[in-house]
Every structure is written in structure tokens, then in C-alpha cells.
Amino acid sequence: MTDQEKNRRFIAKKIASWFHAGDVVNLGVGVPVLVADYIEDGVTIQSENGLLGVGETYDGLNPEAPYFNAAGFSTHLEKGASVFDICTSFGMIRKGRIKCTVLGCFEVSEYGDLANWARPGSYPGMGGAMDLVTGIKDVIVATDHCTKSGKPKIVKECTLPLTGKGCVDWIVTEMAVFKVSNTDGLTLMSHRVGVNVDMIREKTGAPFKVSPELRLM
């Protein structure tokens, strides 16, 4: 497993620890799908392509698997799971029936603007992202702190097409956890062992406050 893969697993485990039995959670493409591998019993995962009760993903693509999550990965279903059409799925999302969505990003701004669907040379399509960030109250971004070239993904202002404005509540990276306010900006809530505030400032493209209750992730 590469360092990047280990970091992404670290992010997924951290986010998974926030959920409890009875929660219904939507997981987006990228790092978020890994959260399913660490969810505790009683937490239900919804996939916007029409699944409720998504389990762990298979190791690689399984051509015999009958079910796939929104990221296109073969997946198990939990006992009691439901399969339904996409209209019903988005009805759940638009009616606010889902507690939280965990999404990846290309950029996220200091005031919670999210860009996660298009970048130069890559236009995969909007998918369900716009519905997710407007229909679900709590939005968590799970992302590498920087791009492969070392550029911050947390920025003062997004330069890529927006998915939503002021919609992100939390950002979780391999370095830190930020609380996001669309009026007050970023607050550093916790950081990883071996990482300090100065290191985080160096790799973050936006200013942030430090919580007086700053703790380790």
C-alpha cells in the first residue's frame, strides 16, 4: 500500500468514527467510498444510483457482482438492503432523508464553496453532486490536503466550476480536520500526530483560525 493509499484510509477511518447506529449516510466518489469499509454496525449507507444498505467494496472489479455503488465499484449489500430506481433515490436526497454526505473535491474554499465535478482535461459530469450539497444538511469533504503536484486543495477562492456555494461543513484531510463556516471561514479543530499548525498553514491555500480546544485526530 502506498503512502497516499494509507493516508486515504486514515481519512476514511476518521470520518467513519463520526457516525452512529441509526445514521443514514451518502458516500461520493474517491476517498469517500472507503468510509464504507470502516462503518460501525447500524449505520446505513445510501448510494445515489439506487442502493440503501451498501456494504464493503470488493477488492477490484468483480464482473460477477450484481451491485455497484455510485463510484462504479462492485459492492456487497448489507442484510435488509433495498434496491430502487434513481428517482426514488433522489427523492430521499431532496427531501432531506439523508443525515450526511461525504464528498471528494478538486477545490474547496475557506467559506465552504465546493468544486468537485470538472477540471481542465477532465469533465466527468455533474452526477448527483449538486443535489447532494443542496438536499443534505451536513456535507463533509474527504480529500488529500494537496494535489499530486503539491498545490493546496483548500483555497481562498475556487477557480474551477462550482458544485455549490457555502455548502461544506467539514473538511477532513490526512493532515487535519477543519470546521467550515460560510461567514467565518475555516477553523482548525484537530491535526494528525507528527503534524503541527505551521506545517498545515504552509500547505493550505487559505487562512484559518485555530480552535482553543485543538486536539489530535
β 107-109/138-142 pair status: unpaired
Least confident of 41-45, 198-202, 209-213: 41-45
55-109 tens-digit pLDDT = 877 766 667 778 888 778 888 899 999 999 999 999 999 999 999 999 999 999 9
**DSSP-based helix, strand, coil % in the chain, nearest 5:** 20, 35, 45
Report whether pLDDT(136) > 90: yes
Counted domains in the chain: 1
Residue 48 among the catalytic residues: yes
**pLDDT computed for residue 22 by the predictor:** 94
Alpha helices per DSSP H over 55-161: 86-94, 129-135
Cβ neighbours for 205, distance < 8 A, ≥ 6 positions apart: 151, 152, 153, 154, 155, 156
Domain containing residue 116: 3-216
- On average, the pLDDT of the chain sits at 93
157-208 tens-digit pLDDT = 999 999 999 999 999 999 999 999 999 999 999 999 999 999 999 999 999 9
139-160 tens-digit pLDDT = 999 999 999 999 999 999 999 9
Provide the pLDDT confidence category of residue 23 given band limits of 50, 70 and 90. Answer: very high
Residue linked to cell 478538486: 106
Q: How far is CA 86 from CA 28, 70, 182, 194, in A?
A: 15, 11, 31, 44
Residue 51's domain is classified under what CATH number? 3.40.1080.10
**pLDDT computed for residue 66 by the predictor:** 84
Report whether pLDDT(18) > 70: yes
- The single residue of 40, 48, 78, 213 carrying the catalytic annotation is 48
**pLDDT computed for residue 61 by the predictor:** 64
**pLDDT computed for residue 70 by the predictor:** 79
Per-position DSSP letters for 159-189, written without gaps between them? -SPPSBSS---EEE-SSEEEEEETTTEEEEE
